[in-house]
Amino acid sequence: MSPRVAAAALAIVAACTVDTETGIAAMIDTASVTVSPSSVPASTVVGLDLTMTFHVGEHAPGGDRMFVPMRAELYLEEGTPPIALLNLQRPADFDGTLHKGETRTVAFHGETLPGAYPPDPFCTGTPTIQVLVRYTDTTASEIGTTTATTTTVTCTP
């Protein structure tokens, strides 16, 4: 094979990608935290808005995959206890089904109960919040996690 043909073949192979994801992969695209007063005197509510992208590979075993986000955990730094735990509300049209090779982006919102967590960790200085989301691949009975960091924190007195 001539060097020119070999280089062309290598360029073609390098341009091709194979979707090898065998389960559900998840990624947090955006995350923002809000801390605001609640209707309960002297207490606040911590809120989280995030968008996530879920993907299942073209060659994943079985048929459709079902997934459910379980909860989000907020941390100031690794190795410390969470500063808030939030259940995520799913959009009304959410069905949690992914077909082979499908990618879907979903927006979620979660809030704590009033007074469940103090506002100080969020509203002192300019914190970097680590967001960890746990989700279940109900088809494979597996739990997955994904993380991201955000400095988008809004505190309302």
Q: Taking the model in full, what pTM does it have?
A: 0.82
CA distance 102 to 100: 6
CA distance 84 to 50: 15
Q: Which of the two residues, 77 and 16, has the higher pLDDT score?
A: 77
The full 3-state SS of 111-148, as one line of letters, equals ECCCCCCCCHHHHCCCCCEEEEEEEEECCCCEEEEEEE
Domain chopping of the chain, boundaries: 19-155
Which percentage of the chain shows pLDDT scores above 90?
Answer: 61
Query: Phi, psi (5° rounding) for residue 55?
Result: -145, 145
- Answer whether 72's CB lies under 8 Å from 88's CB: yes
Q: Averaged over 117-126, what is the pLDDT?
A: 92
CATH placement of domain 19-155? 2.60.40.10
Residue 14 confidence (pLDDT): 44
Residue 7 confidence (pLDDT): 45
Least Cα distance to 37 among 125, 109, 88, 112 occurs for 112
CA distance 117 to 101: 40
pLDDT digits (tens, 9 = 90+) for 72-101: 999 998 788 999 999 999 999 999 999 989
